[in-house]
Structure 1
Amino acid sequence: MTTTRVQRTVRAPRAAVYRALLDGEAVGRWMVPNGMSSEVRAFDAREGGEFRISLTYDDPSTTAGKTSDRVDSYGGRFTRLVQDTEVVQVVEFDTDDPDTAGEMVLTFTLVDVEGGTQVTGVHENLPPSVRPEDNEHGWAMSLGKLAALVEEREQGRQRGNA
């Protein structure tokens, strides 16, 4: 099984980034690559809490879904939450394809850096049907959306306190 790793600096405090990792509405906005839409079906952000998410391809003619022609659905659970520092999830695609099946582990680590927070995402146990470079590209897009969302929220919060 393969592991990928992506990093992004977010111009916001760790607490703000951590909140966005555990906010189902926020996850529906940022944890989706370009060219797809997201539906968060369940989201219980606590250790042992479960979630279900479906991603739908905008143009199914370019890529086949893992669950159906247009959809990648997956479920999982939060296995470790360290306040403002780390989120660990175990996820699995809803699929009958043995090359796509199996539990994956996603770990998000947050570290203070000059100007904000460094987010590191590690995706372990990628199934054989998922190309590592595609996974990294998708995660880079998603972390870009996370940064934009959190930075926008922080700017609004700061304007509200000014």
Structure 2
Amino acid sequence: MRVDSASRLLAAPPHAIFRAFIDPDLLSAWLPPEGASGRLQSFDPAVGGGFRMVLTFDAPDARGKFTQDSDVAETRIVALEPPNRVVWEVDFPSDDPAFAGTMTMAWSFAAGEVGTLVTVRCTDVPPGIDPRDHAVGLASSLAKLDHVVSSA
């Protein structure tokens, strides 16, 4: 079982960060990594609900899992514990078996004296997702989350 993780200290309080996970406009603004845009096709921010997001890559040489320039993330919400934790199960529709399986993303928001430490722990990462690319993507999403919650 492969596990990838990333963390970032944000100045925003946990409740503002949690809101960025349940507001469709905020989620679309921060979740896609740099070089990609995201479009929600469905969104139900409740346990048992979830969302379907299409990520379209800007680079002409992009290698998507769904089409040449896009990925699709079909996400089920398995836990919402305001304002400290969100857990998703994510599937990536693809003809390539290297992207098969369900990845779990557990997000935690730990308030401290100088901000909130946001940590994402991804388990059962499909082998087709390059670990270096995943690390860059997670760091990018966390940086965008920081910007979104700091601007709100």
Alpha carbons 1:60, 1:69 under 8 Å: kept = no
Equivalence for 2:111 = 112
Equivalence for 1:71 = 70
For 1:49 and 1:12, the matched residues in 2 are separated by 26
Segments ≥4 residues shifted beyond 2 Å: none
Q: In the alignment, does 2:20 pair up with 1:26? A: no
Q: Which has the higher Rg, Structure 1 or Structure 2? A: 1
Q: CA deviation at 1:7?
A: 0.4
Equivalence for 2:92 = 93
Q: Which runs of 5+ in 2 are unaligned?
A: none
Equivalent residue letter for 1:84: P
For 1:93 and 1:136, the matched residues in 2 are separated by 17
For 2:60 and 2:70, the matched residues in 1 are separated by 9
Post-superposition CA distance 1:53-72 (Å, at most 9, x none): 010010131x3100010110
For 1:76 and 1:42, the matched residues in 2 are separated by 10
Q: In the alignment, does 2:52 pair up with 1:55? A: no
Equivalent residue letter for 1:151: S
What is the aligned length? Answer: 152
SS of equivalent residue, structure 1 residue 88: strand
Post-superposition CA distance 1:33-62 (Å, at most 9, x none): 11111111111111001210010010131x
Identity in percent? 35
Q: CA deviation at 1:31?
A: 0.2
Instruction: Report the TM-score, using the length of structure 1 for normalisation.
Output: 0.91
Q: CA deviation at 1:18?
A: 0.5
Post-superposition CA distance 1:85-109 (Å, at most 9, x none): 1000001001121001110000100
For 1:152 and 1:108, the matched residues in 2 are separated by 21
Q: Which runs of 5+ in 1 are unaligned?
A: 154-162
